[in-house]
Amino acid sequence: MTVLIDGKAFAKRLRDFISLQVADIKSSLGVVPGLATILVGEDPASEVYVRNKSKQTIETGMASFKHTLGSATSEAEVLKLIAQLNADDRVHGILVQLPLPRHINAEKVINAIEPAKDVDGFHVSNVGMLGTGQKAMLPCTPLGCIMMLRDHFGSLSGKNALVVGRSNIVGKPMAQLLLADDCTVTMAHRYTEDLEGHCRRADILVMAVGRPEMIPGDWIKPGATVIDVGINRVERDGTTKLVGDVDFKSASLVAGAITPVPGGVGPMTIACLLFNTLTAFCRAKSIPEPEEIGFSLAEGVGIIREFKQAS
């Protein structure tokens, strides 16, 4: 039977782990990790995303610093705020919600964030460190995908992985993470010939192109694991429905495991943002990182207790 990879349940496990670590840090050090968010403009979807991020930040016991700026805010004003947050010891992670208004250069803004506080993993330094196998802040969505894959497989070594989509936010870093876990990785895009053939050979298929249900079930290798990053709104029978880049109904009859849309990769993105903020705090304080403890094995294990035991 096909295994449903429940991202919503996985994200809750991750948030519970983070809450435990934050409580341990607070009781031992008297401080907590802090996440600053910057929203420029009045985009409704962005407002919802930032509100959810701030809410979950507070629920895990972290400090939330929310900065909402008008759409007429200049690029210079945004850069000034980032400089202030870079220097603020209470802030360990900085997130600028995209997209930004057209008069603001997003690349310039992202690269103004201190790389150690770049919890989105978009800074050119973090991109370069990921690509060269160094310790970097990892983009949240690919991080969530690789966490779920590791949890499902244990070891990814030797798996044939296909990543469809080559964006800087998902496709490219996803390929780097799969390579780091010893997969044989193929990247596909709009110019790829015989996409169907590549899909049929993949043990792991990661879809991240934003085209509703473009991959049918008969393209998928029997028993393969499908990670569907796509979130597409389609009109069906007079109602709006969310679907992925894979035709879930037909794919679930063939795949060995699959993420649903919604409820798969989506919930992991914010959870991994909080994970990155905790990681940034630990690196700043020179204490064990959450990845070093391993959240799947960490019931009742706190970061500070782990640090004391190792000392």
Q: Tell me the CATH number at 161.
A: 3.40.50.720
| Count of domains for the chain | 2
Which residues lie below 8 Å from residue 221, measured CB to CB, with a gap of 6+?
A: 199, 200, 201, 202, 203, 205, 254
Closest by Cα among 113, 61, 50, 107 to 85: 113
Binding residues, as ranges, are 165-167, 231
User: Which residues carry a binding-site annotation for NADP(+)?
Assistant: 165-167, 231
Q: Are residues 106 and 151 in the same domain?
A: no
Catalytic residues: 53, 97, 120
Range of the domain at 92: 30-114
- pLDDT value, residue 298: 62
pLDDT higher for 2 or 237?
2
Residue 309 has pLDDT above 60, yes or no: no
Q: What is the CATH number of the domain that holds 38?
A: 3.40.50.10860
Alpha-carbon distance of 112 to 78, in angstroms, equals: 10
Position 183 confidence tier, pLDDT thresholds 50, 70, 90: very high
Same domain, 67 and 149: no
Give 117's pLDDT tier (boundaries 50, 70, 90): very high
pLDDT of residue 297: 59
Check whether residue 145 and residue 40 sit in a common domain.
no
Inside any domain, residue 126: no
pLDDT per residue over 56-103, tens digit each?
Answer: 999 999 999 999 999 999 999 999 999 999 999 999 999 999 999 999
- Strands 204-207 and 160-164, by their bridges, are parallel
Give me the pLDDT at residue 303, please: 74
pLDDT for res 302: 76
Q: Which pLDDT band holds residue 306 (cuts at 50, 70, 90)? A: low
Q: Of 40-44, 113-117, 253-257, 295-299, which gets the smallest average pLDDT?
A: 295-299
